[in-house]
Amino acid sequence: MAIEINTNEENLLAKISGELDHHTAATMRAELDEKIKNLNPNKLLLDFSDVSFMDSSGIGFIMGRYKLMKENGGGVEVINAPRGINKVLKISGLDKIITIGRCKNEDNQ
């Protein structure tokens, strides 16, 4: 699991790759939370285009970042999630509280 973090004036982009599970979520959580607290972005964009697997720890990871961003007056958007992960996000109800962008390789519909 790797996380690449980029910023601009208003947004923080975290490109996540590999498996997002119990073993990898804690390390990523600490790194990303530190950046959020230091930079106070308006929006956190979580790019899941290279995430190959996500379990319930991934849902917890997203929820924790949502709560932190909300406390700071910001928002969260998951972008480029593969279809299977996109489906899990919607089934979990996360699409009711965060923005879920188009899924990876989705045809125009």
Q: What is the pLDDT of residues 24-83, one digit of tens each?
A: 999 999 999 999 999 999 999 999 999 999 999 999 999 999 999 999 999 999 999 999
| Region 2-100: CATH code | 3.30.750.24
Model confidence at 108, pLDDT cuts 50, 70, 90, reads: very low
Tell me what pLDDT residue 109 has. 35
- The domain ranges of the chain are 2-100
* Residue type (1 letter), 72: N
Q: How many CB atoms lie within 10 A of CB 83?
A: 11
Smallest CA-to-CA distance from 9 within 41, 46, 44 is with: 41
Strand 75-79 and strand 43-54: pairing?
A: parallel
Tell me what pLDDT residue 105 has. 65
